[in-house]
Amino acid sequence: MAKKKQNLSELTTVEVVDKLKEDSAHYTKMKFNHVVTALENPMTLRRLRRDIARMKTELKKRATESQNTKK
């Protein structure tokens, strides 16, 4: 289940926001499922949590850059 790493800087802001919402919902669902029954691979929780953090960082970076260009 090797997943190709996606370069967030190549995506539009709307695409990043949509992917963030989708992954956040998926992470929440997986977390609840893990409490009830053990996941086959619990490392997927870590990977997904880190991907969410990367997306939030990218959005914050874009917001900072857009404010700097407005000045």
Question: What pLDDT digit, counting tens, does each position of 2-61 carry?
Answer: 344 568 888 899 999 999 999 999 999 999 999 999 989 999 999 999 999 999 999 999
Q: How is residue 46 written in tokens?
A: 């870590």
Burial class (CB in 10 A: 0-12, 13-18, 19+), 27: middle
Q: How is residue 16 written in tokens?
A: 């990043």
Q: What does pTM read for this prediction?
A: 0.84
Q: What is the pLDDT of residue 7?
A: 85
Q: How is residue 56 written in tokens?
A: 């939030």
Is 8 in contact with 58 (CB distance < 8 Å)? Answer: yes
